[in-house]
């Protein structure tokens, strides 16, 4: 595991964006696993800047998002469809038929998960999976549990996850109770994982996930078993490592 700590958000964003655009420059047909939430926003901004300078093209890239809420319309500002359009898809030359996000409004959610798994299988392997980290150790929406699911599935969101995400909604009652998420099996199959974490409030979970026991009660701890993980931290979230 290669852990890099940055003194400023700008440096962290540039490093994260540089890893992703560098991969696409060397492999224009790369398959990217993408994340949402507050953490990657600045990285997407840097990617868009690089694209606007004409230094990278995404026209042959395929993307798979980690997750989507169940039951909010795609054009709801907090849907992950809207998020991706706003922060990345609307600004670069990604081909819409090569971008994938689970459909949280599918009439048959089980079938939607099976379809998403099939698309992932057809793509063979994600070259780089971008991940944020939940305060409870979740990755994607794989919440702590005594057992985890390998493929894409429906999850009931933990109260703490809904509380953490309530900042994006008018009230907690509006935060969906369920989501569709890629499973940990798919995440761990990625060739490379880029885990990004910011903020003092994540210092404890960073320490637990990266140095604690490997347990499904902290899904991010499973990343310790992966051969190629790069972790980008700000000094606040990394403060308990080597402490």
Q: Is 127 left (phi over 0), alpha (psi -120 to 50) or beta?
A: alpha
Cβ 28 to ligand PGA, closest distance in Å? 28
Candidates 1-9, 74-82, 87-95, 128-136: pick the segment binding ligand PGA (CB under 6 A).
128-136
Residue 165 makes CB contacts below 8 A (sequence gap 6+) with 175
Q: Which of 22, 28, 38, 77 binds ligand PGA (CB under 6 A)?
A: 38
Write down the number of H helices and E strands in the chain: 7, 10
Mark 137-156 with x for binding to ligand PGA (rule: CB under 6 A) and - for no binding. --------------------
Reply yes or no on whether 143 is catalytic.
yes
3-state helix, strand and coil shares in percent for the chain, rounded to the nearest 5: 40, 20, 45
Cα 231 to chain center, whole Å?
13
Euclidean distance between CA atoms 234 and 155, whole angstroms: 30
Mark 157-196 with x for binding to ligand PGA (rule: CB under 6 A) and - for no binding. ----------------------------------------
- Cβ–Cβ contacts within 10 Å for residue 185, how many? 15
Reply yes or no on whether 110 is catalytic.
no
Cβ 100 to ligand PGA, closest distance in Å? 18
Which is the catalytic residue, given 13, 65, 117, 136? Answer: 136
Which is the catalytic residue, given 143, 153, 165, 234? Answer: 143
Q: Which two tokens stand for residue 24?
A: 């696409």
Candidates 12-20, 32-40, 84-92, 228-236: pick the segment binding ligand PGA (CB under 6 A).
32-40
Q: Which of 42, 134, 137, 183 binds ligand PGA (CB under 6 A)?
A: 134
Reply yes or no on whether 136 is catalytic.
yes
For residue 163, give the nearest of 154, 174, 153, 155 by alpha carbon. 174
Cβ distance 98 to 65 under 8 Å? no
Candidates 33-41, 112-120, 148-156, 228-236: pick the segment binding ligand PGA (CB under 6 A).
33-41
Cβ 59 to ligand PGA, closest distance in Å? 28
Buried b (16+ CB within 10 A) or exposed e, 77-86: ebbbbbbbbe
Residue 133 found at the interface with ligand PGA (CB under 6 A): yes
Instruction: Please give the residue whose beta carbon sits closest to ligand PGA in the complex.
Output: 37
- Interface with ligand PGA: number of residues (CB under 6 A): 6
| 3-state secondary structure at position 180 | strand
Which is the catalytic residue, given 81, 87, 100, 138? Answer: 138
Residues that bind ligand PGA (CB under 6 A): 37-39, 132-134
Catalytic site positions: 67, 136, 138, 143
């Amino acid at each position: 595991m290669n852990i890099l700590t940055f003194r400023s958000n700008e440096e962290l964003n540039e490093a994260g964006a540089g890893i992703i655009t560098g991969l696409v420059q060397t492999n224009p047909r790369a398959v990217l696993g993408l994340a949402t939430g507050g953490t990657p926003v600045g990285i997407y901004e840097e990617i868009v800047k690089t694209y606007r300078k004409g230094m990278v093209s995404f026209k042959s890239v395929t993307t798979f998002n980690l997750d989507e809420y169940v039951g909010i319309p795609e054009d709801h500002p907090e849907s992950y469809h809207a998020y991706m359009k706003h922060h990345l898809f609307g600004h670069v030359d990604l081909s819409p038929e090569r971008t994938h996000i689970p459909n949280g409004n599918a009439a048959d959610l089980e079938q939607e998960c099976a379809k998403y798994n099939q698309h992932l299988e057809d793509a063979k392997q994600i070259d780089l999976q971008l991940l944020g980290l939940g305060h409870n150790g979740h990755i994607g929406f794989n919440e702590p549990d005594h057992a985890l699911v390998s493929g894409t599935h429906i999850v009931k969101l933990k109260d703490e996850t809904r509380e953490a995400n309530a900042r994006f909604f008018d009230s907690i009652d509006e935060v969906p109770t369920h989501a569709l998420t890629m499973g940990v099996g798919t995440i761990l199959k990625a060739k490379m994982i880029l885990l990004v974490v910011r903020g003092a409030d994540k210092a404890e979970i960073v320490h637990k996930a990266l140095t604690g026991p490997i347990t499904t009660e902290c899904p991010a701890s499973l990343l310790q078993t992966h051969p190629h993980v790069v972790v980008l931290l700000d000094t606040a979230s990394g403060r308990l490592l080597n402490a």
